[in-house]
């Protein structure tokens, strides 16, 4: 029986073990996986494109900080496909070496997005300076290895356990309704979006009156639910913008007709992926921005 056992799924994440991306990967694929830690998001995408990883876990938005800048552009630029989504409850802990007390902490490091989620905490502790580093879990790992000049890190309870740190204060994020949404990306499109399919798109419309209205009207006329819309500047084309949208609908039914009409109206249309909609706001006490 052992000889027929499938090898574990290989998943690239930005950051280190114990990050919220790590927990998002386990939430989607279970604990039996092999992580490919990556220092940057470009390195994460490259691990997927080069097939060193079967999947990549990419944070795309947070309920407090908004979009994780550039990651939707990265999905498009690297020509990978969103094949699944998940949402992770972000509980941020102030973590230090054993014996350190809150009053002695003068610097606390974490990923910039995590720091954005702790404005109220830093206002209450003006003596403490936030320090931006590349990863939540990495801030705790480096602190405990002695390779950091700061006094504390901000990350998950899981990271504190993995690296032998001590939690000084729990749940320091601004709002408990703090969730990060992740895409699982692959070089191949997803095969089964299930009974509640969701599709992510990117499109560009002409700079003329009514162009966006006409583009969005393709969804409204067919009763296709547009659940998200945001614009991002197009690199190398000043004052031009690309729209990213999420829609619910059958990709072989009304949505297919929408996309056909949209392609006739827009300068460009890209389908980033069709995947099963995550059924609800996932609870995770250890779950990276």
HSE (side-chain half, CA atoms, 13 Å) at 128:
23
pTM for this entry: 0.86
Q: Give the containing element (helix H, strand E) for 218.
A: helix 211-221
Other C-beta atoms closer than 10 Å to the C-beta of 213 total 10
CB-CB contact of 233 with 268 (8 Å): no
Runs of H (alpha helix) within 17-148: 20-29, 41-49, 71-77, 112-116, 119-124, 136-145
Q: Compute the distance between CA of residue 203 and CA of residue 160 in angstroms, rounded to an integer.
A: 42
pLDDT digits (tens, 9 = 90+) for 11-70: 999 999 999 999 999 999 999 999 999 999 999 999 999 999 999 999 999 888 888 878
50, 79, 166, 185, 203 from 275: Cα distances, Å: 22, 16, 39, 10, 19
42, 92, 112 from 284: Cα distances, Å: 26, 11, 21
Q: Which residue has the tokens 């709002």?
A: 175
Closest CA to 285 of 90, 43, 155: 90
pLDDT at 201 > cutoff 70: yes
Other C-beta atoms closer than 10 Å to the C-beta of 98 total 8
The separation between the first and the last C-alpha atoms of the chain, rounded to the nearest angstrom, is: 39
Q: Which residues pair with 245 in a beta bridge?
A: 201, 229
pLDDT for 215 equals 95
**Active-site residue (options: 136, 180, 199, 274):** 180
Establish whether 107 is a catalytic residue: no
pLDDT digits (tens, 9 = 90+) for 131-143: 999 999 999 999 9
pLDDT digits (tens, 9 = 90+) for 227-279: 999 999 999 999 999 999 999 988 888 899 999 999 999 999 999 999 999 98
Establish whether 182 is a catalytic residue: yes
pLDDT at 284 > cutoff 90: no
- Domains of the chain, start order: 9-89+179-186 (3.40.190.10), 93-169 (3.40.190.10), 197-276 (3.30.70.260)
pLDDT for 288 equals 43
**Active-site residue (options: 45, 121, 182, 183):** 182
């Amino acid at each position: 029986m052992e000889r027929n056992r499938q090898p574990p799924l290989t998943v690239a994440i930005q950051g280190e073990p114990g990050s919220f991306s790590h927990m998002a990967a386990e939430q989607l694929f279970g604990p039996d996986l092999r992580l490919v830690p990556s220092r940057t998001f470009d390195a994460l995408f490259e691990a997927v494109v080069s097939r060193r990883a079967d999947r990549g876990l990419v944070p795309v938005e947070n309920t407090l900080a908004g979009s994780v800048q550039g990651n939707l552009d990265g999905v498009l630029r690297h020509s990978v496909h969103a094949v699944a989504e998940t949402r992770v409850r972000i509980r941020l802990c102030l973590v230090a070496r054993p014996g350190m007390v809150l009053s002695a902490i003068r610097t606390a490091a974490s990923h910039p997005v995590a720091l954005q989620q702790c404005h109220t905490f830093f206002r209450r502790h003006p003596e403490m300076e936030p320090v931006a580093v590349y990863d939540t879990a990495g801030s705790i790992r480096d602190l405990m290895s002695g390779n950091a000049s700061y006094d504390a890190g901000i990350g998950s309870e899981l990271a504190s356990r993995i690296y032998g740190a001590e939690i000084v204060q729990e749940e320091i994020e601004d709002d408990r309704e703090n969730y990060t949404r992740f895409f699982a990306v692959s070089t191949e499109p997803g095969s089964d979006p299930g009974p509640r399919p969701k599709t992510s798109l990117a499109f560009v419309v002409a700079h003329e009156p009514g162009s966006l209205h006409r583009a969005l009207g393709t969804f409204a006329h067919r009763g296709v639910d547009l659940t998200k819309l945001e614009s991002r500047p197009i690199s190398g084309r000043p004052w031009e913008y690309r729209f990213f949208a999420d829609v619910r609908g059958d990709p072989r039914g009304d949505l297919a007709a929408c996309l056909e009409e949209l392609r006739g109206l827009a300068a460009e249309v890209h389908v980033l992926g069709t995947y099963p909609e995550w059924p609800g706001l996932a609870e995770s006490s250890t779950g990276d921005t």
